[in-house]
Amino acid sequence: MKPVLMIHEFKEDFLNLPLEDYILTFDDGLFTQYIFFNEIKKIKTKKYFFISSGIICPEDVNQNDEYIPCAKAHRKAFLGDFTNYMKWSQINEINNTENCVIGCHSHFHMRKTAGCVECIILDNQKMFSEFNKNLKYMPDSFCFPYNYDTPLYKEILYKKGFINFFGKDRIDIFNL
């Protein structure tokens, strides 16, 4: 199996890397990933896009196509500005593309979720309801927010039907 590459914000330079040698994982649903999607989808390898269902740009809002580091985009989102993120229509387009898989990346993308059972349960409820409503089914792949994969969080997700897990054992594209 190919090594797994972890990608957050996407920049054009990445297209010069031998990306087809890796399984590609795109975290957070950042709009920069969609901007380059026409190029990304031509790369002959499996691609996972991990979406936080609570961090989505509304359909009627204009997105911001500037490059932005993922931590900064998150800070804006936590204040209610989702313009650096994809819309469900774009996520569905990716989902209908060959070799592209949509996975879950929690609902709130909270740091404390991993160690708090109540937080996991609440987050899962929101995540299930949003994915079922907007994607019409539940993915079976999950990527841990901030890569905090605890055995408890994993066990709860496993019982909910998730079978593919992604976390800190991936290679960060910035370390290539």
Closer residue to Zn ion in complex, CB, 9/27: 27
Taking the CA atoms of 14, 17, 71 and 89 in sequence, report the sign of the dihedral they define. positive
Q: Which residues are paired to 143 by β-bridges?
A: 166
Cβ atoms 6, 173 nearer than 8 A = yes
What is the C-alpha separation between 88 and 136, in angstroms, rounded?
Answer: 11
Per-residue string for binding with Zn ion, 20-39, x by CB under 5 A? -------xx-----------
What is the C-alpha separation between 57 and 62, in angstroms, rounded?
Answer: 9
Closer residue to Zn ion in complex, CB, 21/71: 71
User: Minimum Å distance from CB 120 to Zn ion?
Assistant: 16
User: Minimum Å distance from CB 171 to Zn ion?
Assistant: 16
User: Minimum Å distance from CB 44 to Zn ion?
Assistant: 26
Closer residue to Zn ion in complex, CB, 133/168: 168
Q: Please give the DSSP secondary-structure letter assigned to residue 146.
A: G
Closer residue to Zn ion in complex, CB, 74/87: 74
Q: What angle do CA 137, 144, 129 make, to 5 degrees?
A: 30
Based on the shown chain and the rule CB under 5 A, indicate whether residue 149 belongs to the binding site for Zn ion: no
Q: Which residues bind Zn ion (CB under 5 A)?
A: 27-28
